[in-house]
Amino acid sequence: MTLKDVAKLLNAEILVCEDGCDVEVKTAFAADLLSDVLSYAKEGALLVTGITNPQIVRTAEMLELIGILVVRGKNPDAETLKLAQTKGIPLMVTKYIMFESCGRLYQNGVVGCVESVLSAK
C-alpha cells in the first residue's frame, strides 16, 4: 500500500506530497503526544496524529518517518504546511478519527511499528 492508497482508503486530502506519495506504507504509529512519538515511533512508519503544529513535521523529519496523516479533520496551519513542503514530508488530512483510521490501515495490511512498549526499546 502506498501513501496514495492510504489517502484513497481514508478519503484523505493530500496537502503536501512531492514525489513521496508512491512510498510504500508497511508500518504506522498513532499518538497525540510528541513524547510518545519520540519514544516509540520507528523509522519508515506513517505517523497518525491529531497534532497540527510545526513540531510534528520536525519530529517526522528527525525520526525519518515516511509521512503524516492528521486525523479528525484537523487542518495544519500555514507554517506547518510550509515546513512539510520544505522538508519534503508528505502530509494528509482525514475526517476519520484515529481509531477508525488505524483500523482501516490494519485491515489493509499496515501494522504497528511496535507491538508493545516492552518491544519498543
Domains of the chain: 3-114 (3.40.1390.20)
- Is the pLDDT reported for residue 25 higher than 60? yes
**Prediction pTM value:** 0.94
pLDDT digits (tens, 9 = 90+) for 31-70: 999 999 999 999 999 999 999 999 999 999 999 999 999 9
- Is the pLDDT reported for residue 21 higher than 90? no
pLDDT the model gives residue 120: 59
Cell 512519538, residue?
37
- Of 17, 57, 20, 13, nearest to 37 (Cα)? 57
- Is the pLDDT reported for residue 121 higher than 60? no
Cα angle 98-27-66, degrees, rounded to a multiple of 5: 90
